[in-house]
């Protein structure tokens, strides 16, 4: 008999956003947090740089707002930017209160702030070069200590459960089905308030800095449930991932450039000044495109990032994680440059939400990289992402707590039916389709695009989705199949969004439309099952 669970709040995702929301709910609220793998397997754990916030008297909130709008090529929503920036200091204070061990100045007088590309001031608070690890380790500990939070590891969400799917009157979300990876059975989780905090979709690309679980699950599930999505054509490619055959997905933080690291061609010469007057401190989209251009021009496998001109003690103290990882591969960054390549890093678009994190489906929220809040625009400013996680998670928690005062009668949810499917003996189809999808997304929908490439990708995705749908209907589900199904949905949304944007802006650069258009508009996609009467989140009068 399949298990069924009931909670006040179901949070799908166990990174900084999900755990922050859980910890900001009242201690008498019963909360379930689902983690696809172990609690530390997500993108938060890998985040190196830090969290942007106005913490120094020489800095201003207006300067942070302007830096964000500029990096986002003025597609960011100013109201969302101001909302995020204005709640920055209190969010950092909350993390400090939880016990996050941020790095202090040498004399221990205050917290050390660093500077990253696109920022006009030092405003990045960090824990050496492993900020995400420090934040997540602390939040996991607090969640384990909380008596009202149940943590479910190795559970991958299958789909959201809405009243309309149960053939009831409205499209309110009432829970989700999740595959218990260890048992192989699907279990139902009932809850009147459901939160998507599943991260982004960078695994849709062949080369990525993200962990294997970044397969766009929340975005795909929300789309199937009737939520609109926005600006999914904007996929941020981190300019500097370590280039080494054994160094899978290892990112070299932007703070290396913030502290004076120089980008070099194979002959040792600098090149960034030819692309932007800010040089290495230009926003990520400009730096990634410059590296991509130079690699293709020279036929080079990689370029180089050099911090070796700094004192050895400085490098070891500020970048201990990078130093140790590079030494593991025989690269001494105190004496030689780091070989680097761009890699898919962050999904700037997502499920449309408002500043309470509400989606278009009642009872369903989205936070973190899964959500489109309007903050990032056409390019995310460095270290704004963890800030967004905390700010919107705390805002959502406050609204959810208010909603829980109104008792909601949950409908009966049927058990997952496996009677019509069999075990697969053709898993090679999953692995082949997974590889093909990521390869053509990298080739056709990468840093530089054309209309012809996008059309080719769209055609391949249509064929893949037919194969995946047939496979999903006939065989028992697995984590790999669920991720492939979700990646195909998100790949389709990315390509459709990119085809609609007939201009180059920020992270979306196309050779067919190399200039920015006269007006900055969002790209909004609306599913066929979208219900206007339930609409409660995000922009309306934009491109669709």
Catalytic residues: 284
Question: What tokens appear for 391 in the block?
Answer: 């700010």
Q: Sign (positive/negative) of CA torsion 12, 18, 19, 25?
A: negative
**From the CA atom positions of the chain, what is the Rg in Å?**
22
Please enumerate in sequence order all residues whose Cβ is within 8 A of that of 370, keeping only pairs 6 or more positions apart, or say none: 13, 17, 196, 197, 198, 199, 200, 218, 219, 222, 350, 351
DSSP string across 236-247: EEEEEEE--TT-
The span from the CA of 59 to the CA of 62, in Å, is 9
* Closest by CA position to 522, among listed 500, 537, 507: 500
Q: With 0-12 CB in 10 A as exposed, 13-18 as middle and 19+ as buried, what is 296?
A: exposed
Alpha-carbon 47 to chain mean position: 11
Pairing of strands 193-196, 9-12: parallel
- Contact yes or no for 255/281 (Cβ under 8 A): no
Phi–psi pair at 273, nearest 5 degrees: -65, -20
User: Cα angle vertex 204, ends 202, 208, to 5°?
Assistant: 45
The span from the CA of 344 to the CA of 541, in Å, is 30
* Closest by CA position to 220, among listed 544, 493, 496, 489: 489
């Amino acid at each position: 008999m399949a298990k069924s669970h009931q909670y006040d709040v179901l949070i799908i995702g166990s990174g900084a956003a999900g755990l922050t929301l859980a910890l900001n709910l009242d201690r008498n609220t019963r909360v379930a947090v689902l983690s696809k793998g172990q609690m530390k397997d997500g993108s938060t754990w890998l985040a190196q740089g830090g969290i942007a916030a106005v913490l120094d008297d020489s800095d201003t909130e207006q300067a942070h707002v302007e830096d964000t709008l500029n990096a986002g090529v003025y597609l960011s929503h100013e109201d969302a930017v101001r909302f995020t920036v204005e709640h920055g200091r209190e969010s950092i204070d909350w993390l400090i209160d939880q016990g996050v061990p941020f790095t202090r100045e040498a004399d221990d007088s205050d917290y050390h702030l660093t500077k990253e590309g696109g920022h006009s001031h030092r405003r990045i608070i960090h824990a050496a070069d492993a900020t995400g690890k420090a934040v997540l380790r602390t939040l996991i500990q607090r969640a384990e200590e909380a008596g009202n939070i149940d943590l479910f590891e190795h559970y991958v969400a299958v789909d959201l459960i809405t009243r309309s799917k149960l053939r009831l009157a409205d499209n309110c979300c009432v829970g989700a089905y999740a595959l218990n990876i260890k048992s192989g059975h699907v279990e139902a989780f009932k809850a009147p308030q459901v939160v998507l905090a599943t991260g982004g979709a960078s695994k849709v690309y062949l080369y990525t800095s993200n962990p294997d679980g970044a397969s766009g699950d929340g975005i795909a599930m929300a789309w199937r449930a009737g939520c609109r999505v926005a600006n999914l054509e904007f996929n941020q490619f981190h300019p500097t991932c370590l280039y080494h055959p054994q160094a899978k997905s290892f990112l070299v933080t932007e703070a290396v450039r913030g502290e004076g690291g120089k980008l070099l061609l194979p002959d040792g010469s600098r090149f960034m000044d030819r692309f932007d007057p800010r040089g290495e401190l230009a926003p990520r989209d400009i730096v990634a495109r410059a590296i991509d251009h130079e690699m293709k021009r020279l036929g080079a496998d990689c370029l180089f990032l050099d911090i070796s001109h700094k004192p050895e003690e400085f490098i070891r103290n500020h970048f201990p994680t990078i130093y140790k990882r590079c030494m593991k591969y025989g690269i001494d960054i105190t004496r030689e440059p780091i070989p680097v390549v761009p890699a898919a890093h962050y999904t700037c678009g997502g499920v449309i939400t408002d500043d309470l994190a509400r989606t278009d489906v009642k009872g369903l929220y989205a936070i973190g990289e899964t959500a489109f809040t309007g903050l990032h625009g056409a390019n995310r400013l460095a270290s704004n992402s963890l800030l967004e996680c905390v700010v919107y998670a705390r805002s959502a928690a406050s609204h959810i707590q208010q909603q829980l005062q109104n008792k909601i009668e949950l409908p009966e949810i049927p058990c997952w039916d496996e009677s019509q499917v069999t075990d697969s003996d053709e898993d090679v189809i999953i692995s082949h389709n997974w590889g093909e999808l990521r390869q053509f997304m990298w080739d056709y929908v990468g840093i530089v695009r054309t209309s012809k490439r996008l059309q080719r990708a769209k055609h391949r995705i249509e064929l893949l989705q037919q194969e995946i749908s047939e496979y999903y209907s006939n065989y028992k589900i697995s984590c790999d199949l669920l991720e492939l199904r979700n990646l195909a949905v998100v790949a389709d949304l990315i390509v459709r969004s990119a085809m609609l944007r007939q201009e180059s802006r920020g992270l979306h650069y196309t050779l067919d439309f190399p200039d920015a258009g006269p007006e900055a508009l969002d790209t909004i996609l609306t599913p066929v099952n979208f219900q206007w009467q339930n609409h409660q989140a995000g922009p309306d009068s934009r491109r669709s």
